[in-house]
Structure 1
Amino acid sequence: MKQIIIPSLAMLSLLLASCGEPTSTVPTFELSPQRLQHQISAEGELFAVNAVSIHAPASRGPRFIYEISPEFSEVTPGQRVVTFDATQLQREKRQAGTALAGVAADKSKKLTDQQGDLLKLGLDRLLVKREFSFADQFNIDDVQIRSRLEILDSMQNKEFLADKQHYLGWQQQSFQQKSQGELELLQLQQDQQQSLLSQAESGLNALEIKAPHKGILLFETNWRGEKPEVGRMVFPGDKIGSIPDLSLQHIKLQVIEQEAKGLTAGQQVRFVMAADPGLQLRGKVLKVSQVGRSRERRDPRKYIDVVVEPAAQHPAFMPGKKIRATIEVNSRDDVLQVPLQAIFSAEQQSYVWKQQGSSFEKQSVSLGEKSLTHAEVLSGLAVEDRIALIDIGS
Structure 2
Amino acid sequence: MKRACAWLLLLPLLGGCKPPDTDHTVLEQAQAMPLEFSVLGEGDLQSTKPTPLLVPGAQWTSRQLNWMLPDGSMVAKGDLVARFSAEQSKQDLAQARIDLERNLLARAAKQAELDDKNGQLDVDLTQVIAQYVIAERYANATLDAIARNDILDAVQDVHYLDVRQRILHWREDQSTARGVAELAVLDAQRSSFDTVAKQKKADLDALELRAPHAGILVLEKDWTNQVPHVGSSLYAGNAFANLPDLDVLEVRLTVPQIEAQGIKVGDKVELHRWGMPAQTVKSTINWVASTAQQRSRVNPVKYLMMKMSVPAEVARKYGWLPGQRFVGKIILLQVAKGYSVPNVALGGADGKPSVKVLEDGKVIRRTLKLGVRGATRTQVLEGLRPGDRVLLGDTDAEESQ
TM-score bracket, shorter-length normalisation: 0.7 to 0.9
3-state SS in 2 of match to 1:309:
strand
C-alpha change, 1:135 and 1:369, in structure 2 (3 Å) is same
Q: Secondary structure at the match of 1:386?
A: coil
Partners of 2:178 and 2:343 in 1: CA distance: 95
**Counterpart for residue 9 of structure 1:** none
Cα 1:365/1:79, change in 2 over 3 Å:
same
The one-letter amino acid of 2:159's match is: E
**Preserved contact between residue 43 and residue 322 of structure 1 (Cα < 8 Å):** yes
Aligned pairs for 1:236-255 within 5 A: 239=238, 241-247=240-246, 248-255=248-255
Distance 1:226 1:73 in 2: 18
Cα distance between partner residues in 1 of 2:325 and 2:126: 93
SS of equivalent to 1:314: helix
> Pairwise mapping of residues 56-135 of structure 1 onto structure 2 (< 5 A)?
57-58=57-58, 62-85=62-85, 89-90=89-90, 92-97=92-97, 99-101=99-101, 103-104=103-104, 106-108=106-108, 110-111=110-111, 114-115=114-115, 117-135=117-135
Per the alignment, do residues 301 and 99 of structure 1 end up closer, same or farther by CA in structure 2, a change over 3 Å counting?
Answer: closer
Aligned letter for 1:167?
I
Q: How does 1:140-159 map to 2 (within 5 A)?
A: 140=140, 142-159=142-159
Q: CA deviation at 1:245?
A: 0.6
Take 2:130 and 2:343, find their aligned partners in 1: how far apart are those partners? 121
Letter aligned with residue 287 of structure 1 = W
Partner of 2:182 in structure 1?
A: 182
Provide closer, same or farther for how the CA distance between residues 277 and 179 of structure 1 changes in structure 2, counting only shifts above 3 A. same
Question: Matched residue pairs, number?
Answer: 370
In the alignment, is the contact (CA less than 8 A) between 1:29 and 1:387 conserved in 2? Answer: yes
Question: For the residues of structure 2 that align with 1:228 and 1:349, how far apart are their CA atoms?
Answer: 51
Give the equivalent residue in structure 2 for 1:306: 306
Q: Which residue of 357, 361, 383 maps to 1:353?
A: 357
Give the conservation status (yes or no) of the 8 Å contact 1:66–1:84.
yes
Aligned equivalent of 1:4: none
SS at match of 1:193: helix
What SS is found at the alignment partner of 2:44?
strand
- Which SS does the other structure have where 1:266 is aligned? coil
Q: Which residue of 1 aligns with 2:320?
A: 317
Q: Evaluate the alpha carbon distance shift between residue 130 and residue 393 of structure 1 in structure 2; reply closer, same or farther with a 3 A threshold.
A: closer
Whether the 8 Å CA contact 2:72–2:216 is kept in 1: the answer is no
Normalised by the length of structure 2, the TM-score is 0.75
CA distance 1:82–1:155, shift in 2 (3 Å): same
Tell me by how many angstroms 1:67 deviates: 2.9
> In 2, Cα distance between the equivalents of 1:41 and 1:226?
23
Letter in 1 for 2:187: Q
Q: Which moved more, 1:162-171 or 1:366-375?
A: 366-375
Q: In the superposition, relative to structure 1, how do residues 325 and 227 fare at CA in structure 2: closer, same or farther (>3 Å)?
A: closer
Shift of the 177–380 alpha-carbon distance from structure 1 to 2, 3 Å rule, reads closer
**Deviation at residue 322 of structure 1 after TM alignment:** 2.4
Deviation at 1:179, TM superposition (A): 1.9
Structure 1 length normalisation: TM-score?
Answer: 0.76
More divergent stretch after superposition (296-305 vs 284-293): 296-305
User: What is the rounded CA distance, in whole Å, between the counterparts of 1:141 and 1:131 in structure 2?
Assistant: 16
Taking the aligned partners of 2:196 and 2:212, their CA distance within structure 1 comes to 29
Q: Is residue 291 of structure 2 the alignment partner of residue 288 of structure 1?
A: no
Residues 69-95 of structure 1: CA distance to partner in whole angstroms, max 9, x if unpaired? Answer: 333323333333222225554554455
Q: Percent identity?
A: 19
In the alignment, structure 1 residue 328 sits paired with structure 2 residue 331? yes
The CA distance in 2 between the partners of 1:346 and 1:339, in whole Å, is 14
Q: CA deviation at 1:334?
A: 4.8
1:375 aligns with 2:376: no
Specify the SS of the correspondent of 2:72. Answer: coil
One-letter amino acid of the counterpart of residue 104, structure 2:
A
**Partners in 1 of 2:301 and 2:60 — Cα distance?**
42
SS of 2:388 mapped into structure 1: strand
Task: Quote the offset at 1:265 in angstroms.
Answer: 1.6
CA distance in structure 2 between the aligned counterparts of 1:341 and 1:49, rounded to whole angstroms: 38
